[in-house]
Structure 1
Amino acid sequence: MQYKLLKMNKLFFSFLLLIAFGFSSCETDIDLNAEYKDIPVVYGLINPSDTNHYIKITKAFIGDANAYDLAANADNFNYQDGELTVEVTEYNFDGIFVKTYLLTRTVNEIPKDPGIFDNSSNVLYKFVEPNINKNSTYKLKIYNKTLEKEILSETKIVGINVSDVGSPSTMQIIRLWLGEPYTGLPNELSITVTPNNDIGRLDVTFIVNYDEHYTLASGLDSVPKSVRIPIGDKLAFGTKVEWILSGSTVMDYLVKNVPNPIDIPYFSHRALTRVSMEFNVAGTELSTYMLVSEPSNTVNQDKPSYTNIENGLGIFSSRTKINWVSTAGSPSFPINLDSETIMKLKSLGLGFCFGISATSGHKCNQLP
């Protein structure tokens, strides 16, 4: 018999999402005469940046009714209260026991989005720990009291810091354009990360930040806004992972995705602030799970399944996110973009500007 897991989208997973906690399982190629077999489906990602940690545990199901009708009843895929004992145990870098967390069963603490599966009761198992140790291993044990069955898994914790971003540095001025706005050329920005601590995949987003200002007559306060430019995800092979971001990619994305000023009531200008980046990171087990779950690009559509759950299906791994925030610039020029890049941004016709210097060429002019 084959069991089909609902696939997780690519990282940034919005990582991740990436993480919807709506994960369940149903069965395909079913032998209706076969004896029912309990197959737990486990989905848990420990994020060292979180305090509350959740694990989704459901079961594959079979029945005589239509699969959609079966999925509409949460009793078909949720274990009953008291049926499972769930614990996570921490072991330090040397394999020495540190602590055991006994998880509590929660219902609708995180609401489940509408879909095929019944969302009236979203059951998650939870433990609380604000200080997840990135050098430890966390072992999951699920015990089914009725069947006297153990389901086991373990994961290391992804570890990444802003200091692991080799380039650009937080003190670096970002240069995305060379020369005059209309006759110059785009410049390339190299973004590098040194992967460590069980990192299997990284996804990076470049963020252009600005404050949107309105006319004085409107009485409206300025609003901080941003444009998130996806650069892509890469597997963490070797000692360095690198992305190349072209200035033309940034300019084209802004033109296509920033609303035209003429369509915004009371618009005055968009004052640029420092650009930033966001890195979403997946553990090696999660990365492998995502790789195997990706659609096949070959004629052969049969792909191997992957799970790191003993006596079950699913994934138990780690993920995290870091924000790269620049401190470049000076009190008189508090931005991490160079003047030629700012002039190019101003030329896009989107109302971008920076500063109040009359001689800069990119001065912001507040409309009355």
Structure 2
Amino acid sequence: MQKFFLAAALFSLLFNSCKTDFDITSDWEDISVIYGLLDPTDTAQYIKINKAFLDKNTSALVIAKIPDSLYYQNLNVQLQQYLNGVFVKTIEMNQVDGNLEGFIKDTGIFANQPNYLYKTKEILDQNSSYKLLLTQAEDGKEVSASTEIINDFAVVRPTTFTKVNFFPGGVYKTQWNSAKDGKIYALTIRFFYKEVSFADTTLSQEKYLDWPIFSSLPSISTIGGQSMETDIDGDAFYTYVNSHLSEDPSVFRISEYFNFMFSVGGEEMDLYNQVTLAQQGLTSGSAQPEYTNVENGLGLFSSRFHKTIFNVPIDVHTIDSLACGQVTTHLRFINSVGDLCF
């Protein structure tokens, strides 16, 4: 029985092929696997590039530990910038060890040292598209993929000037306008609080909880400017806090503020999500399709955008509900006048 090993399986890049067809059962076919999400809000861009291959005679578990089997030795990696379809410039990407860049690769079946990535610190233009081009030095084989860059967008609600109230039994409505070239949206609310020692109130520690609200909300199109909104269940906030904090008699807690952290993914990411959901309905004996937007290779190349509304104030009713409500009173949050409720 042939043993198929996909070197970039850690990124779950077995997607449905929409442009490029491969016979993944042929012997020793060199298949490049790419994972890259360009982000104009980040200070550096990283692309993951691996090999996929077949071997009739060697266990995949053995090959997985050999770095030379996972990475190309001589690979030229470039980003080509286009504005309104017109070529602007070429950006060279340099090979780096992700372990030294702060992206520590987990131990497991794959070799974790080195963890090669391709990097550039070039500032991305939100109005441009970018083509990733890989050229192998040995035979000149080219692999490519393209994506639009997601633009900035407006968050209507909340703002840093309006207090958020997760009223028990009610809902809080957050609103924003969709981003140009953005398709799929996620929101996480970061709740900041302080823990103060009962024994010595000069001893305190700043902490936070990340509360996921939604992770795959699509816009109608990628044109941008669509009015989008979602209702957040007020009761869910107290349930989440209760399930993620433990009672600690040695401290009391002070509610501080929220950060609303929006993330946007490109159209390719939305297609990937759709294919993944479709695969969940396949029986175990079905041949699962593969998605890729990479020409002459496999993988996902898209863009993303992060936008955070910082320091959103908390309404006194939410502060008091945390302190005095039945679900969270045992967690010893103080109320809006600085008292405990038990």
Instruction: Report if TM-score (shorter chain) is over 0.5.
Output: yes
1:270-349 matches, cutoff 5 A? 270-294=253-277, 296-300=279-283, 301-326=286-311, 336-347=313-324, 348-349=328-329
Partner Cα separation in structure 2 for residue 291 and residue 109 of structure 1? 34
1:184-203 matches, cutoff 5 A? 185-203=168-186
Q: 1:242 to 1:302 in 2, by over 3 A?
A: farther
Partner Cα separation in structure 1 for residue 88 and residue 268 of structure 2? 23
Q: 1:209 to 1:35 in 2, by over 3 A?
A: closer
> Which runs of no fewer than 5 residues in structure 2 stay unpaired?
16-22, 221-225
Matched position secondary structure for 1:251: helix
- Determine the structure 2 residue equivalent to 1:124: 117
Tell me if the contact between 2:188 and 2:210 (Cα under 8 Å) persists in the aligned partners: yes
Tell me if the contact between 2:144 and 2:294 (Cα under 8 Å) persists in the aligned partners: yes
Tell me if the contact between 2:38 and 2:303 (Cα under 8 Å) persists in the aligned partners: yes
Tell me if the contact between 1:134 and 1:197 (Cα under 8 Å) persists in the aligned partners: no
Tell me if the contact between 1:47 and 1:318 (Cα under 8 Å) persists in the aligned partners: yes
CA shift, 1:299, in A, is 4.6
TM-score normalised over the length of structure 1 = 0.77
Of 94-103 and 197-206, more deviation after overlay is shown by 94-103
- Determine the structure 1 residue equivalent to 2:236: 249
CA shift, 1:318, in A, is 1.0
Deviations 1:58-87 (A, max 9, x none): 11122211111111111112111xx21111
Of 165-174 and 139-148, more deviation after overlay is shown by 165-174
Counterpart among 43, 58, 67 of residue 51 in structure 1: 43
Pair 1:72-2:69 in alignment: no
Tell me if the contact between 2:268 and 2:301 (Cα under 8 Å) persists in the aligned partners: yes
Counterpart among 114, 120, 141 of residue 107 in structure 2: 114
Matched position secondary structure for 1:146: coil
Q: 1:24 to 1:219 in 2, by over 3 A?
A: farther
Tell me if the contact between 1:234 and 1:241 (Cα under 8 Å) persists in the aligned partners: no
CA shift, 1:148, in A, is 1.8
Q: Which amino acid aligns with 1:50?
A: D
Q: 1:105 to 1:346 in 2, by over 3 A?
A: same
Q: 1:302 to 1:196 in 2, by over 3 A?
A: farther
Tell me if the contact between 1:207 and 1:277 (Cα under 8 Å) persists in the aligned partners: yes
Matched position secondary structure for 2:110: coil
CA shift, 1:206, in A, is 1.8
Q: Report the number of matched residues.
A: 315
Matched position secondary structure for 2:272: helix
- Determine the structure 1 residue equivalent to 2:18: none
Partner Cα separation in structure 1 for residue 5 and residue 298 of structure 2? 9
- Determine the structure 2 residue equivalent to 1:139: 131
Matched position secondary structure for 2:241: helix
- Determine the structure 2 residue equivalent to 1:363: 338
- Determine the structure 2 residue equivalent to 1:174: 164
Q: Which amino acid aligns with 1:167?
A: R
Partner Cα separation in structure 1 for residue 36 and residue 113 of structure 2? 21
1:230-241 matches, cutoff 5 A? 230-238=212-220, 239-241=226-228
Deviations 1:88-134 (A, max 9, x none): 11122x233332111112234343221211112111111121x3111
Matched position secondary structure for 2:178: coil
Partner Cα separation in structure 2 for residue 289 and residue 168 of structure 1? 30
1:254-269 matches, cutoff 5 A? 254-262=241-249, 266-267=250-251, 269=252
Partner Cα separation in structure 1 for residue 317 and residue 119 of structure 2? 51
**What is the Cα-based RMSD across aligned positions, in Å?**
2.7
Q: Which has the higher contact order (CA 8 A, sep 6+)?
A: 2
Deviations 1:236-289 (A, max 9, x none): 222233321111101111111112022xxx41x211112221112211112222
Counterpart among 226, 242, 245 of residue 208 in structure 2: 226
Q: 1:293 to 1:276 in 2, by over 3 A?
A: same
Matched position secondary structure for 2:206: strand
Of 305-314 and 229-238, more deviation after overlay is shown by 229-238
CA shift, 1:135, in A, is 1.0
- Determine the structure 2 residue equivalent to 1:96: 86
Tell me if the contact between 1:87 and 1:103 (Cα under 8 Å) persists in the aligned partners: yes
Q: 1:295 to 1:119 in 2, by over 3 A?
A: farther
Identity %: 30
- Determine the structure 2 residue equivalent to 1:87: 78
- Determine the structure 2 residue equivalent to 1:351: 332
1:158-173 matches, cutoff 5 A? 158-161=150-153, 164-173=154-163
> Which runs of no fewer than 5 residues in structure 1 stay unpaired?
10-22, 178-184, 328-335, 356-361
TM-score normalised over the length of structure 2 = 0.83
Deviations 1:152-203 (A, max 9, x none): 1111112234xx22223332222222xxxxxxx5220112222122112111
